[in-house]
Amino acid sequence: MVKFNKWGVLTKGHDEIRYAGIDKYEYNNGIGIGVTLFTQFCSHQCIGCHNPETWDKDGGEMFTKDVYNDLFDTLADDQITRLTLSGGDPLDNLNLSYFVAHNFKKRFPDKQLWIYTGYTYEDLIANPKYNQVLELCDILVDGPFDINQKDLSLPFRGSANQRIIDMKNSLELSRPILWRQEERHI
């Protein structure tokens, strides 16, 4: 069980949960004005990664009650249309990602949740430990960054192998459905 300890630090058992940073009122990691929570830890460690400082499981900062309150105060702003979980890999820091995503969707069901991961949709669907967080996700950007397929002209991703997946439709149809901005009227 994930909870805040008596010092206000989010923990799972005796392990302190860490994050890398928060970017408020940003336009880069999804549609509209959003907040991006950068999680700490990444098992993929892609060559050319733009956030290698997030790889170390023991790096970053402790996720405290004050950080949580500040994050959710910002998310309550009517200008904010989404929360993006990035990293590191948010699915390598599943305790933090699910805790934040669950509380976000509970408080703001009409705002979108975007998740960036180095795992593929197929790998995630095959592993039940990801089910709860994927059910909360609106848009999944999947696949590791591949420096050989780097393409900075692509919206919301860095390499051509990565996909932007509409998770609600994908889960309903049991196959990856690529997201199309114009079809979503966002």
| Residue spans of beta strands (DSSP E) within 64-169 | 82-86, 112-116, 139-142, 163-166
Per-residue pLDDT of 124-157, as tens digits, reads 999 999 999 999 999 999 999 999 999 999 999 9
Q: What is the DSSP string of 101-114?
A: HHHHHHH-TTSEEE
Per-residue pLDDT of 95-129, as tens digits, reads 999 999 999 999 999 999 999 999 999 999 999 99
Please report where in the chains the tokens 């950007």 appear, as a residue: 141
Helix (H) / strand (E) containing 100: helix 94-107
CATH code of the region 17-184? 3.20.20.70
Please name the amino acid found at residue 50: H
Lowest mean pLDDT among 31-40, 78-87, 127-136, 172-181: 172-181
Provide the 10 A C-beta neighbour count for residue 166.
Answer: 20
Angle in degrees, CA 120, 96, 131, rounded to 5 = 45
Select from 81, 73, 90 the least CA-distant residue to 37.
90
pLDDT at 183 over 90: no
Strands 82-86 and 34-39 turn out to be parallel
SS3 category, 12: strand
Strand partners, 178: 165
Domain residue ranges in the chain = 17-184
What is the pTM (predicted TM-score) of this model? 0.95
Report the pLDDT averaged over residues 3-8.
95
Strand partners, 85: 37, 115
